[in-house]
Amino acid sequence: DAMVIQNPRYQVTQFGKPVTLSCSQTLNHNVMYWYQQKSSQAPKLLFHYYDKDFNNEADTPDNFQSRRPNTSFCFLDIRSPGLGDAAMYLCATSREDRSPDTQYFGPGTRLTVL
């Protein structure tokens, strides 16, 4: 089945130690998104890629970076995680971003910062 895959499902890191979360998709979608979801809150968009074009949300901290080496993969890098970065990180895809389109979500990576 075509899907969005995230690894790992659970990640523990130390305060200030860089961490990378990974997302892959077999849907061949043009657009990939990263969302942050803190406990009991709605998902919040961090950034998205349309093909290789990177689009950062205005309020996304500089501590968060992303890479998309090819259509199938996208990475979220947190350069110096703080305690406030502990959250569920959700990857999503859609075919297009210039027209309304369904977004499909992966299972998420739950990040713990010690």
Partner 1 sequence: GIQVEQSPPDLILQEGANSTLRCNFSDSVNNLQWFHQNPWGQLINLFYIPSGTKQNGRLSATTVATERYSLLYISSSQTTDSGVYFCAVHSGGSNYKLTFGKGTLLTVNP
> Where along the sequence are the contacts to partner 1 (CB under 8 A)?
31, 33, 37, 41-43, 45, 48, 50, 55, 57, 88, 90, 92, 94, 97-108, 110
Q: How far is the CB of 53 from partner 1 (least distance, A)?
A: 11
Work out the number of other CB atoms within 10 angstroms of the CB of residue 1.
4
- Name which of 33 and 78 has its Cβ closer to partner 1: 33
- Name which of 16 and 61 has its Cβ closer to partner 1: 61
Distance CA 40, CA 35 (A): 14
Q: How far is the CB of 89 from partner 1 (least distance, A)?
A: 10
Do residues 30 and 78 lie in contact, with contact meaning Cβ atoms separated by under 8 Å? no
Query: 65-71, long-range: CB within 8 Å, 24+ apart, which pairs?
Result: 66/34, 68/32, 71/28, 71/30
- Name which of 45 and 86 has its Cβ closer to partner 1: 45
